[in-house]
Amino acid sequence: MSALMNATRSELAKQFSVSVWWILLIVLVLYVGGTAGSLAAAFGASDSGLAGAASLPGGLGDRLPVIVYGTATAIGYVFPLIVGTLMVTGEYRHKTLTPTFLATPRRGAALAAKVLAGVVMGLLYGVAAVVSTVGAGAAMFAVFGVDPQLTEPATWASIGRMLLALVLWVLVGIALGALIRNQIGAVVGVLAFTQFVEPIARLGAALVDGLAPVVRFLPGAASDALAGDSVFNALGGGTADALEWWAGGLVLAGYAAVLLVLGGILSWRRDVV
């Protein structure tokens, strides 16, 4: 156990010794916080009937705060996903995996250390994302007289599940990095799938009969289900038969587990070149 803890501390030292982690963290906070504040202002103005306000989907009622706060996961999940991917592919790119294996000869333990370090990184990014969306969203709700529902247990339960979702996304990224050694290929693949393939598929589910039951098992849809709601659902890109939150969590955790096993078997144990 002490060897695993030492390996985990080493992994965390690697992450905090480079500037990528805080650059991505700052971009994440600005991106999701700014989006949450803008959405809260737009929905608040629309619901208030202000002149010149854009007409947005109505009837959201009690869903509105969670939708805005859920920006942390709905659009911010790509950041922890990339962080997890870089935690592994960066070692291949910079040729540091050989000393990692020399320090931790058991490769399973080395991968487990990355997973534990990934949980810490996921919590760091998750807390930063949630604080920025809740802070910006609640502030805009106050301006337009919308109840931010910060005294509701259901809101905090949803926020807790958002943190869990962002931790799981780091683990999915680590698993992808273990499976796909090439850093550029892995990052491009992640961006292509998360920013184009899945959003298009989820939008298509509203137009193609029989596609919705399949699309809800995609990782992004499962993440939204775990969080409780998302702006994607509010604007018509979600499915009416979305998974229960616990089922969404199991699906997302399943992606991480299956990819980790595949990465460990097919790539992680191969010779380092």
- C-beta separation of 253 from 170 below 8 A: no
> Per-residue pLDDT tens for 52-82?
444 455 556 678 889 999 999 999 999 999 9
Residue 135 lies in a domain: yes
Residue 130 has pLDDT above 70, yes or no: yes
Q: Cβ neighbours of residue 234 under 8 Å, at least 6 residues apart?
A: 57, 60, 63, 67
pLDDT at 205: 76
43, exposed or middle or buried, with CB in 10 Å at 0-12, 13-18, 19+?
buried
Residue 273 lies in a domain: no
For the beta carbon of residue 85, count every other beta carbon within 10 angstroms: 25
CA atoms within 13 A on the CB side of 31: 17
| Whole-number Å distance between alpha carbons of 162 and 166 | 6
Mean pLDDT of 87-96: 89
| Whole-number Å distance between alpha carbons of 56 and 75 | 19
- Please report, to the nearest 10 degrees, the dihedral formed by the alpha carbons of residues 72, 77, 83, 85 taken in order: 170
Residue 133 has pLDDT above 80, yes or no: yes
> Per-residue pLDDT tens for 212-265?
788 889 999 999 999 988 877 776 555 457 889 999 999 999 999 999 999 988
CA atoms within 13 A on the CB side of 21: 21
| Whole-number Å distance between alpha carbons of 141 and 133 | 12
| Whole-number Å distance between alpha carbons of 95 and 188 | 20
- C-beta separation of 125 from 163 below 8 A: no
Residue 29 lies in a domain: yes
Q: Cβ neighbours of residue 224 under 8 Å, at least 6 residues apart?
A: 70, 73, 74, 230, 232, 233, 238, 242, 248
For the beta carbon of residue 117, count every other beta carbon within 10 angstroms: 23
Better-scored residue on pLDDT, 42 or 12: 12
pLDDT at 69: 95
Q: What is the span of the domain harbouring residue 101?
A: 2-268
Residue 151 lies in a domain: yes
Residue 187 lies in a domain: yes
Residue 72 lies in a domain: yes
Lowest-confidence range among 6-15, 106-115, 195-204?
195-204
pLDDT at 52: 46
Q: Cβ neighbours of residue 104 under 8 Å, at least 6 residues apart?
A: 3, 7, 10, 110, 113
Average pLDDT, the chain: 88
Provide the number of structural domains found in the chain.
1
pLDDT at 45: 79
Residue 105: which pLDDT band, with cuts at 50, 70 and 90?
Answer: confident
Residue 48: which pLDDT band, with cuts at 50, 70 and 90?
Answer: low
Residue 149 lies in a domain: yes
